[in-house]
Amino acid sequence: MFERILYIVSEKQEDKHFVMELARQHKSAVLLSGIMSRECRQISTDGHTRTKVVNEETERQCWQDLYSLEEELKAAGIKSSVMAQEGKVDNILGLANSSHCDLIVLSSSSLSDGGYRIPDELIPNLPCPLIVTNQE
């Protein structure tokens, strides 16, 4: 039913296990994406150079986490690959269209920048269903 699942990665283990089980049941490939915004970019008041170093290290850690998760999925027998985007949750539309995914799994924590609201223009334009997992 779902050939490609676009998973906007969260830190919640429950989300990861949910996506893995869904992928197993449907023999789906999982496209891993991290939204590199507030969650992956810290703002520092230590000066321009220090801010740049902290941002680069945080982004490097985000990439490392995505690739580690990809290896974990592959070890579990689930096809997966890493995709990334920089920006906000409303950029998911372009990612969903370009990846030709059949389902999007998004943690509600990814919506924190927008006050935990899905942008109004996102839902009617998505090419596939969207599952939003609970923040708790």
Span 55-104, pLDDT tens digits: 788 788 888 889 999 999 999 999 999 986 666 676 788 888 889 999 99
| CA gap 2, 72 in Å, rounded | 20
* pTM of the shown model: 0.81
Whether the predicted pLDDT of 16 surpasses 70: yes
**Could you tell me the domains of the chain?**
4-133 (3.40.50.620)
Virtual CA dihedral for 107, 86, 38, 9, nearest 10 degrees?
30
| CA gap 78, 124 in Å, rounded | 30
**Could you tell me where the beta strands, DSSP code E, fall in the chain?**
4-8, 29-36, 80-86, 103-107, 130-133
Q: Longest C-alpha distance within the chain, in Å?
A: 50
The token pair that represents 98 in the structure block: 């370009």
